[in-house]
Amino acid sequence: MKKFLFLLITICTAQSYAQDSTLIKSKVANAITELRDFVLLPNDANNADDIDTNLYWLSKKFTERGFNSSILETEGLPLFFAALPIDDNKPTILFYMHFDGQSVDISKWDQKNPYEVVLKSKEGDGWKTESFDALNDDINYEWRLFGRSTSDDKGPIIMFLNAIDILQKEQKTLPFNIKVILDSEEEKSSASLPKAVRVYRDLLKADYLIINDGPVHSSGKPTIVYGCRGITTLSITTYGPLRPQHSGHYGNYAPNPGMQLAHLLSSLKDTDGRVLVNGFYDGIELDEATMAVLKSVPDNANEINTNLAIANPEKVGSFYQESLQYPSLNIRGLGSGWIGKNARTIVPAEATAELDIRLVPESDGNRLKSLVKEHIKNLGYHVMSTVPTREERMKFDKIVTIMEGNITDAFRTDLTNPFGNALVKTMESKFGEKPVQIRIMGGTVPISPFINELKIPAFIVPMVNPDNNQHSPNENLKIGQIAYGIQLFHAILHSTAVPE
């Protein structure tokens, strides 16, 4: 019986694959038309009117597909929410995407209007504009659509809608309820999102969260990401004479704040880049299974090093993915006196280092900041959180001001999460190879607080090409990625096994 069932499923799958390419192509064509229409609406989150027009467009498109939609007011700009009718016996997937985009500097784009999608094909190292009519005969998956938010993040919304069309045409009963939350302020750090999730907790209630934002792995292969690092910052200032002094008169006499800061900073890390602050890496353990997943990511160390033009990487981890599993301590800016043509022969009055610390779930931001402060105290510094007065400067030999920045927490879903495993299986059977599994990505997604607030397993499933010029001029989306995204949304909703 089981064998028969298996055979039946295989035949059905084979049939649906046979329909696939024509059906998918027709949906890709439709997606391109819809994306052109959607991109035409400017979506700068600094402009509330922009967001309103986009909300109206979204309401229309989701309603056409049978969704109940609502606009959720927040302390900032409104969010868009949509859901298909809920069946209480099924688990719910909540999809998160965003429809706002980075603002544009028209002068830097190779097209007149960044909101009017331009079709281009590759020509040598550059791009050649093509007529959209050329797509009527056949759709070239290598060609690209150029325009703001084609990739980040309107493209994935359109892929989602067109996958829904196919599911509705097939009249399939889905194993999941579907909810969608579309952010209008992602490019502005989604400041009102964590509070909104508390206010709309019941509406957003779900079993799993899938985020469709950002690009696939640089290899271009199907990718699933289980988390992202958090971030916090420190600003460290050391002091010399009250005002900059002549280095001839006071060199050898007035203490130099740049030197002091250099000693301080060099005590934080060894020459291989490992943090020397006590307890900084506490709690991080990478077992064999985790290491195997990290090693399975097809990063090319030579390519990375060539891109960066570096001889050797630091040695926090023994390879790129391993290095991302730890919190980092980075000097993001450094300043004292003047440099270059403006350099002056002075002993400067102060020196400042701006640090950022990327966090992982094991490393609480407040704890790491205290450890760094403790380390600096142990060097003999009088640590302050304000600028010292003349009296204080005269009282303490070594004095430092440390200002602390906000904390955005990291998030990470367990690699063994059953729904994650089911997603991996879905992707593997759809695309014929295991997806690239990224345990934690290096950068910080501003929606981490939202994810941590929902307390459900979250996965980032990116849909777009890695070289999409996200946030920059000439943002683009490879047409093949539209086909990929439509098929992947379809497969996730239709063939992912519901975990026990």
- The distance from CA 167 to its chain's CA centroid, rounded to whole angstroms, is 28
CA 136 – CA 29 distance, rounded (Å): 9
Q: How far is the CB of 500 from Zn ion (least distance, A)?
A: 33
Q: Are 195 and 85 in contact (CB under 8 A)?
A: no
Q: Which is nearer to Zn ion, 213 or 475 (CB)?
A: 213
CA 493 – CA 206 distance, rounded (Å): 14
Q: How far is the CB of 98 from Zn ion (least distance, A)?
A: 6
34 lies in the site for Zn ion, by CB under 5 A: no
475 lies in the site for Zn ion, by CB under 5 A: no
CA 211 – CA 497 distance, rounded (Å): 19
Record the tokens describing residue 178, joined without a space. 């579907």
The 203-232 site mask, x for binding Zn ion (CB under 5 A), equals ----------x-------------------
Q: How far is the CB of 149 from Zn ion (least distance, A)?
A: 9
Strands (E), 226-340: 227-228, 230-239, 245-246, 328-336
Which 436-455 residues touch Zn ion, going by CB under 5 A? none
DSSP 355-392: EEEEE-TTS-HHHHHHHHHHHHHHTT-EEESSPPPHHH
Q: For residue 361, what are the contacts with CB-CB under 8 A and spacing of at least 6? A: 227, 409, 410, 411, 412
Q: How far is the CB of 153 from Zn ion (least distance, A)?
A: 4
Q: Which stretch binds Zn ion (CB under 5 A): 144-152, 217-225, 342-350, 376-384?
A: 144-152
44 lies in the site for Zn ion, by CB under 5 A: no
Q: For residue 334, what are the contacts with CB-CB under 8 A and spacing of at least 6? A: 351, 352, 353, 354
Question: Residues in contact with Zn ion, total (CB under 5 A)?
Answer: 3
Q: Which stretch binds Zn ion (CB under 5 A): 59-67, 118-126, 151-159, 362-370?
A: 151-159
CA 184 – CA 449 distance, rounded (Å): 16
153 lies in the site for Zn ion, by CB under 5 A: yes
152 lies in the site for Zn ion, by CB under 5 A: yes
Q: How far is the CB of 213 from Zn ion (least distance, A)?
A: 4
Q: Which is nearer to Zn ion, 191 or 387 (CB)?
A: 191
Q: How far is the CB of 200 from Zn ion (least distance, A)?
A: 21
Q: How far is the CB of 186 from Zn ion (least distance, A)?
A: 5
Q: Which is nearer to Zn ion, 211 or 268 (CB)?
A: 211
DSSP class of residue 218 equals T
Q: Which residues bind Zn ion (CB under 5 A)?
A: 152-153, 213
